[in-house]
């Protein structure tokens, strides 16, 4: 493991909490709030891919906060754990969720390993999520108070035993309050700063170009078919399509077509009208629980993608890592490869990968 700061263990000696300092507003305010609590805070910037904030901006930010900081080079880990996963899922005709993967493998995985080696007891981030004590004294992960910015969905794969070592200072705050606090602190904005809406490794959202550069080639063209197998046209390659997509299909019809399914085995993209997008349930695999593994059946609210409002569902546990989810009401665009999260009220129970739609 190559790190920009080779003496990381010595550098972090005596630190109470390391803040994952991204260079943006949220993590900076999180650091400031922890300092106000009297904690000894150090900023750790994770260099994951090309681009990102300049070292000069990070230095100015740390100086404004009055804290020390270091940069940890994690490009190799990120490439193996996230980028290879991302390209592999598209090659399988699935819709990946690299942010869920990155949080588990990198931000709360590899980084926590480094902090443990250095003897740092706590890791903090600028996520909008809350940790609250449960009835039996164990910590529970809950949605952020600002439901428009809640990021608990992306934390569904964290190991449960890590929760007591995490701090989410922004969990009770609204985004507008965080922005105001940042300005009140007089902290610098990067010259090209804007709140990220895209993947950090594909800033302009041109993921086909990224896949082509990383893989060397994309899949061949093939047939666009309807749900009965009737050929409707030709597709450009499976990587250009995701479940639920409406635009760019090139098939004129009285009622709009949507991508209903992607079949890598036959190199086909299945199109259907809006009503054919709906599914009564899904099968989730690789399920990670943030609660004691439940019995064979339970009721929970299932969130099938970020910003999905969630739907009441019955969960049938085939085994601890596999759950069959039956929705109270059919849901649109259930995409294999995406992550599904399970909630009771605001409490995040866990989540898994959507293997297939029912």
Q: Which of 70, 99, 200, 227 is catalytic?
A: 200
The tally of CA atoms less than 13 A away on the side-chain side of residue 278 is 9
Chain Cα centroid distance, residue 200:
11
Alpha-carbon distances of 130 from 3, 97, 148, 289, rounded to whole Å: 31, 22, 14, 17
In 3D space, the residue among 159, 177, 161 whose CA is nearest the CA of residue 169 turns out to be 177
Report the distance separating Cα 157 and Cα 142, nearest Å.
14
Report the distance separating Cα 325 and Cα 322, nearest Å.
10
User: Is position 200 annotated as part of the catalytic site?
Assistant: yes
For 152, the 3-state DSSP assignment is helix
Report the distance separating Cα 119 and Cα 277, nearest Å.
50
User: Is position 227 annotated as part of the catalytic site?
Assistant: no
Q: Which of 70, 99, 102, 227 is catalytic?
A: 102
Report the distance separating Cα 235 and Cα 269, nearest Å.
7
Q: Which residue has the tokens 């700063």?
A: 193
Could you tell me the two tokens for 53?
A: 């904030």
Residues with a known catalytic role: 102, 200
């Amino acid at each position: 493991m190559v790190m920009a700061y080779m003496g990381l263990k010595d550098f972090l000696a005596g630190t109470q909490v390391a803040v994952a300092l991204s260079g943006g507003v949220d993590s900076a305010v999180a650091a400031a709030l922890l300092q106000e609590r009297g904690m000894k805070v150090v900023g750790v910037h994770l260099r994951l891919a090309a681009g990102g904030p300049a070292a000069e901006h990070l230095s100015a930010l740390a100086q404004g906060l009055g804290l020390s900081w270091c940069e940890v080079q994690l490009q190799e880990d990120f490439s193996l754990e996230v980028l290879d996963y991302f390209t592999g899922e598209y090659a399988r005709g699935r819709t990946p969720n690299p942010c869920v993967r990155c949080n588990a493998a990198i931000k709360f995985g590899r980084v926590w390993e480094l902090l443990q080696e250095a003897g740092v007891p706590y890791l903090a981030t600028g996520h909008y999520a809350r940790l609250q004590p449960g009835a039996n004294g164990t910590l529970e992960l809950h949605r952020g108070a600002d439901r428009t910015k809640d990021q608990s969905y992306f934390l569904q794969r964290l190991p449960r035993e890590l929760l007591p070592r995490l701090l989410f200072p922004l969990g009770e705050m609204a985004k507008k309050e965080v922005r105001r606090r940042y300005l009140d602190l007089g902290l610098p904005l990067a010259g090209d700063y804007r709140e990220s809406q895209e993947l950090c490794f594909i800033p302009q959202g041109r993921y086909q170009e990224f896949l082509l550069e990383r893989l060397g080639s994309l899949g061949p063209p093939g047939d666009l078919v309807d749900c009965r197998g009737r050929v409707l046209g030709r597709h450009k390659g499976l990587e250009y399509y995701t479940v639920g997509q409406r635009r760019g299909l090139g098939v004129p019809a009285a009622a709009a077509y949507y991508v209903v399914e992607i079949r890598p085995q036959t190199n086909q993209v299945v199109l259907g009208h809006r009503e054919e997008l709906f599914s009564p349930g899904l099968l989730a695999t690789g399920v990670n629980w943030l609660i004691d593994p439940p019995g064979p059946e339970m009721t929970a609210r299932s969130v099938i993608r970020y910003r999905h409002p969630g739907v009441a569902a019955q969960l049938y546990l085939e085994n601890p890592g596999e759950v069959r989810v039956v929705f109270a009401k059919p849901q649109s665009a259930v995409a294999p490869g995406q992550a599904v999260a399970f909630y009771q009220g605001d409490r995040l129970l866990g989540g898994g990968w959507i293997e297939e739609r029912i």
